[in-house]
């Protein structure tokens, strides 16, 4: 019997795309030719949706993305999380309703679903509104000071320590931090755990960092501009810790333009392990963030909650996933004076 994966392979598209086309998802941005090709292949393969013997109804899960659709296209981090959700849902025959903060009518779009996954950063008022909209809600990439809602986060603290211990072991004692700020709807700044871990580690190990600490946004353009300021400062550190790979890639360009060699003149570590990180020049040492798996895990959790009517005691949970340092070629011991 043909499956969604069979159709996806023959149509040369992802399983998530096939699922959304067959589920008549009008928000999917594909050509009419692609839609027609998928439907034709499904018909040729005699594809029919699986109806389980238990006759359980078709689950529907909503995705709410705090970015606009245009911002997401520029951010592989949040895009990867959403891909993980849609991949899991395609594999488990779950209908997906996708919305963005820029959608004016998203509360009505997300009504009467079996679960809701919110990606990004939200204030207390927003958290409460989503939980009132759907009691089976989980938030991805948002760590609250108190566990009062379901969340899946990454272990940023341990990841930063591991990266800095690697640089420290190479002999670096002057390290820059290039990061970004995330602004919540009430204009408060979201607590940046990577920066906090960086500062405390540097203070505990007598690493000079204060003249080299910059925060703008998590983009390549921002990394480029922050590094130009760093160069203009006149006293370069021996290494840079960038809080995202796009920042690191922008920083590398600024350094090359100024005539610096990586890692001979300055080492650099990124964060995320996006696909282009291994193809930079040199290949970027970075922290692997399991973003796609984080999305899959969130969808799995919501599905379990939707199908479990026997759980009497409900309490919020926080799932923390580990990150791993991926050593490539962008770091080496600092030059001797």
What pLDDT sits at residue 229? Answer: 96
Q: Are residues 301 and 282 in the same domain?
A: no
pLDDT at position 50 over 60: no
Q: Give the C-alpha separation, 222 to 142, whole Å.
A: 22
Give residue 312's pLDDT. Answer: 53
Going from the C-alpha of 266 to that of each of 233, 251, 256, 269, the distances in angstroms are 15, 11, 11, 10
Is 163 strand, coil or helix? helix
pLDDT (mean) for 46-69: 71
Sheet holding 60-65, edge to edge: 95-100, 60-65, 115-119, 137-140, 150-154, 318-321
Task: Specify if 337 maps to a domain.
Answer: no
User: Beta strands 239-242 and 213-216: pairing type?
Assistant: unpaired
pLDDT at 6: 86
Confidence (pLDDT) at 14: 86
More confident residue, 42 or 88: 88
pLDDT over threshold 80, residue 219: yes
pLDDT at 52: 43
Tell me what pLDDT residue 53 has.
42
What per-residue confidence (pLDDT) applies to 228?
97
- Structural domains counted in the chain: 2
Do 14 and 128 lie in one domain? The reply is: yes
Rounded average pLDDT over 133-141? 94
> Are both 20 and 136 inside the same structural domain?
yes
What's the pLDDT score for residue 107? 85
Whether residue 196 is found in the same domain as residue 121: no
**pLDDT value at residue 30:** 80
Average confidence score pLDDT of the chain: 90
Higher pLDDT, 104 or 280: 280
- pLDDT exceeding 90 applies to what percent of the chain? 64
- 192 pLDDT more than 80: yes
Is 176 part of a structural domain of the chain?
yes
Provide the pLDDT for residue 101: 81
Counting residues of the chain whose pLDDT is more than 70, the rounded percentage is: 94
In a domain, 10, yes or no: yes
Q: Are both 17 and 148 inside the same structural domain?
A: yes
Statement: residue 117 has pLDDT above 90:
yes
Strands 285-288 and 324-326 come out as antiparallel
Average pLDDT over residues 71-92: 87
Between these two residues, 321 and 33, which has the higher pLDDT value?
321
- pLDDT of 315 reads 87
Tell me: pLDDT of 56 over 60. Answer: no
Tell me whether residue 25 is in a domain: yes
Q: Is residue 326 in a domain?
A: no
Assigned domain for 32 exists = yes
Do 103 and 49 fall within a single domain?
yes
Q: What is the pLDDT of residues 284-330, one digit of tens each?
A: 999 999 999 999 999 999 999 888 766 555 789 999 999 999 999 99
Same domain membership, residue 165 and residue 55 = no
Could you check whether the bond before residue 201 is cis, i.e. omega within 30 degrees of 0? no
Q: How confident is the model at residue 169 (pLDDT cuts 50, 70, 90)?
A: very high
Within this chain, do residues 256 and 315 fall inside the same structural domain, yes or no? no
Answer yes or no: is pLDDT of 203 > 70.
yes
| Residue 192: domain span | 156-288
| Residue bearing the bigger pLDDT, 72 or 198 | 198
- Is the domain of 16 the same as that of 149? yes
Decide if pLDDT at 51 tops 50.
Answer: no
* pTM score: 0.80
pLDDT of residue 12: 87
Q: Are residues 85 and 192 in the same domain?
A: no
Are 91 and 196 part of one and the same domain? no
Is residue 331 one of the residues assigned to a domain?
no
Q: Kindly report the CATH number assigned to the domain that includes residue 121.
A: 3.40.50.2300
Nearest to 268 by CA among 337, 177, 160, 194: 177
**Confidence category of residue 57, pLDDT binned at 50, 70, 90:** low
For residues 94 and 206, state if they share a domain: no
How far apart are alpha carbons 191 and 179 in whole angstroms?
12
83 contact partners, CB below 8 Å, separation of at least 6 = 16, 292, 295
Asked, for residue 191, whether it belongs to a domain, the answer is yes
């Amino acid at each position: 019997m043909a499956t969604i994966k069979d159709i996806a392979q023959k149509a040369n598209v992802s399983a998530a795309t096939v699922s959304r086309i067959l589920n008549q998802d009008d928000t999917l941005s594909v050509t009419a030719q692609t839609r027609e090709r998928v439907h034709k292949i499904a018909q040729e393969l005699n594809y029919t949706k699986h109806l389980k013997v238990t006759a359980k109804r078709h689950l529907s899960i909503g995705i709410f993305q705090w970015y606009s659709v245009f911002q997401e296209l520029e951010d592989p981090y949040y895009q990867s999380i959403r891909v993980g959700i849609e991949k899991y849902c395609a594999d488990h025959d779950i209908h997906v309703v996708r919305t963005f903060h820029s959608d004016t009518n998203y509360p009505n779009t997300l009504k009467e679903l079996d679960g809701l996954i919110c990606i990004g950063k939200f204030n207390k008022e927003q958290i409460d509104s989503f939980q009132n909209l759907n009691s089976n809600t989980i938030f991805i990439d948002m760590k609250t000071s108190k566990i009062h809602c379901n969340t899946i986060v990454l272990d940023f603290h341990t990841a930063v320590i591991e990266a800095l211990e690697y640089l420290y072991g190479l002999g670096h004692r002057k390290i820059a931090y290039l990061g970004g700020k995330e602004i919540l709807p009430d204009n408060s700044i979201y607590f940046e755990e990577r920066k906090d871990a960086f500062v405390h580690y540097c203070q505990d190990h007598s690493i000079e960092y204060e003249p080299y600490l910059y925060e703008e946004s998590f983009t390549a353009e921002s990394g480029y501009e922050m590094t130009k300021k760093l160069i203009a400062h006149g006293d370069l550190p021996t290494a840079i810790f960038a809080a995202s790979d796009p920042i690191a890639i922008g920083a590398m360009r600024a350094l090359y333009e100024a005539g610096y060699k990586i890692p001979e003149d300055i080492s650099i570590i990124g964060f995320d392990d996006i696909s282009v990180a291994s193809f930079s020049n040199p290949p970027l040492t970075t922290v692997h963030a399991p973003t796609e798996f984080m999305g899959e895990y969130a969808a799995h959790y919501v599905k379990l909650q939707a199908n479990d009517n026997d759980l009497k005691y409900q309490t919020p949970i926080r799932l923390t996933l580990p990150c791993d340092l991926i050593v490539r070629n962008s770091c080496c011991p600092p030059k001797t004076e």
